[in-house]
Amino acid sequence: MRSTILSLGLALLAGGLATAAPAQTGAEDAGVFEIQVNGRGVGQERFSLRQTGVGPNAEFVATGQVQVVLPAGSIDLNTRLRTSGFQADPVAYDVGTVGSGRFSAKIVTPAGEQLREYVASSGATVLDEGVAHHYYFLARRTRNGRVPILIPRENRQVMAEVSDRGEEQISINGVTVSLYHLVIEPDGGEDRHVWVDALGRVIRVEIPDRDYTAIRTEIPL
Those residues whose C-beta lies under 8 Å from the C-beta of residue 34, and which sit 6 or more positions away, are: 41, 44, 214, 215, 216, 217
How many angstroms separate the CA atoms of 31 and 25, rounded? 17
What is the model's pLDDT at position 146? 94
The residue-averaged pLDDT of 109-134 equals: 72
CB 90 within 8 A of CB 125: yes
The pLDDT of residue 22 is 40
Contacts of 220 (CB under 8 A, 6+ apart): 29, 31, 197, 201, 203
CA–CA dist 117, 155 (Å, integer): 8
Q: What pairs with residue 69 in β-bridges? A: 74
What three-state secondary structure class fits 36? strand
Mean pLDDT over each residue of the chain, to the nearest integer:
79
Least confident of 6-15, 106-115, 122-131: 6-15
Give per-residue pLDDT as tens, 189-204.
999 999 999 999 999 9
How many other CB atoms sit within 10 Å of the CB of residue 4?
18
Give per-residue pLDDT as tens, 14-27: 333 333 334 444 45
pLDDT at 10 over 70: no
The pLDDT confidence band at residue 11, using thresholds 50, 70 and 90, is: very low
CA pair distance 200, 185, nearest whole angstrom: 19
Q: What single-letter amino acid sits at 40?
A: R
Burial of 46 (0-12, 13-18, 19+ CB in 10 A): middle
SS3 154: helix
- Model confidence pLDDT, tens digit, residues 85-100: 888 888 777 755 445 5
Q: What is the pLDDT of residues 148-171, one digit of tens each?
A: 998 877 777 899 999 999 999 999
